[in-house]
């Protein structure tokens, strides 16, 4: 019998979309639901019988979700798959969104159910959500879409394996600018990167499989819980009422391992300050990231992997 406790998930970046890659990363996942999708068509031909005689395959593909914990060694590669561009510096790899004429990277993902291996090709990240809160291990949730499922294992290279511990909440700090001014009033953060993939690019090419998975409009949104204080009234709440720009920095650091996420221009779209009882008042704030005058709508710096992906 196969049980989840014996399962593992490996990932490699593809050089050519849909062509199996060498697996390089062991992902610290908590659940996955990647599955082969078969759009079955029923023949409606009337053949003199009381019932259909044929089921035929329609559109073929792969889709599902991955829930993972944020570990220093693997968080960067997941953001790279969601954003698509990388630039290596002396001490970090900078990750930013692709441009209009560029494609998101695709991955080969292998799920091993205690020896029964299945791998998926042409996998792209449709949506990535990062979440962190007081007392909890930060997490990454990925919605993925792909081209094909292949029974058996892919080629394994030298693996990047997570260390003994994930980032935990004491190692998560939030800033109201580019990592200068910390805030101790935020108790949770959720950030979502949505690529709005075109998942319906099928051709009459004799395969039944997706030809491509191009990214459409990029959306970066999120929500934060803020402890109600006088500085919030003159700060975040004032920016909400006047629809003026704010900035948000997210930093995860474990020893020398560090991940930084920076949103240079965000606007709060909703802030509520409801009283729900005698306990402290918490503002629930939603925000949307906008393009700055220069630079990227979001930037991630991975100080763990300095050689790129």
Q: Which two tokens stand for residue 71?
A: 């570990």
Mean pLDDT on 2-16: 89
The answer to whether 113 and 134 are in contact (CB under 8 A) is: no
Tens of pLDDT, residue by residue over 270-295, are 999 888 878 788 999 999 999 999 99
Mean pLDDT on 257-272: 96
Residue 132: the pLDDT is 96
pTM over 0.85? The answer is yes
pLDDT above 70 for 228: yes
Residue 73: the pLDDT is 96
Residue 21: the pLDDT is 98
Phi then psi dihedrals of residue 291, to 5 deg: -65, 130
Tens of pLDDT, residue by residue over 60-92, are 999 999 999 999 999 999 999 999 999 999 999
pLDDT above 70 for 2: no
Q: Which two tokens stand for residue 246?
A: 């704010």
Q: Which two tokens stand for residue 214?
A: 């191009």
Cα 214–Cα 30–Cα 149 angle in degrees, nearest 5:
45
Mean pLDDT on 112-131: 96
How many CB atoms neighbour CB 204 within 10 A? 6
pLDDT above 80 for 125: yes
The answer to whether 77 and 198 are in contact (CB under 8 A) is: no
Domain ranges of the chain: 4-37+57-302
């Amino acid at each position: 019998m196969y049980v989840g406790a014996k399962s593992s998930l490996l990932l490699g970046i593809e050089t050519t979309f849909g062509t199996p890659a060498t697996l390089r990363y062991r992902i610290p996942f908590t659940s996955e639901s990647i599955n082969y999708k078969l759009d079955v068509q029923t023949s409606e031909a009337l053949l003199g019988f009381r019932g259909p005689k044929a089921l035929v395959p329609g559109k073929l593909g792969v889709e599902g979700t991955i829930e993972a914990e944020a570990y220093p060694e693997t968080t960067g590669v997941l953001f790279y798959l969601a954003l698509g561009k990388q630039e290596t510096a002396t001490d970090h790899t900078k990750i930013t969104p692709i441009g209009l004429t560029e494609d998101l990277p695709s991955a080969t993902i292998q799920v091993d159910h205690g020896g029964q291996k299945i791998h998926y090709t042409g996998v792209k990240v449709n949506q990535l959500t990062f979440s962190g809160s007081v007392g909890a291990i930060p997490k990454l949730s990925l919605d993925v879409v792909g081209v094909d499922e292949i029974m058996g294992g892919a080629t394994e290279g030298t693996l990047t394996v997570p260390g003994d511990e994930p980032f935990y909440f004491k190692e998560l700090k939030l800033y109201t600018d580019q990592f200068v001014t910390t805030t101790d009033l935020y108790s949770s953060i959720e950030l979502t990167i949505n690529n709005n993939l075109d998942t319906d690019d099928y051709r009459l090419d004799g395969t039944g499989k997706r030809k491509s998975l191009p990214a459409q409009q990029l959306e970066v949104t999120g929500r934060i819980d803020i402890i109600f204080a006088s500085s919030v009234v003159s700060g975040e709440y004032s920016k909400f009422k006047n629809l003026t720009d704010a900035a948000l920095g997210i930093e995860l650091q474990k020893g020398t391992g560090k991940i930084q996420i920076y949103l240079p221009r965000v606007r709060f779209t909703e802030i509520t300050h409801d009283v729900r009882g005698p306990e402290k008042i918490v503002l629930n704030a939603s925000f949307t990231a906008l393009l700055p005058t220069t630079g990227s709508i979001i930037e991630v710096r991975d100080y763990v992997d300095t050689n790129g992906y």
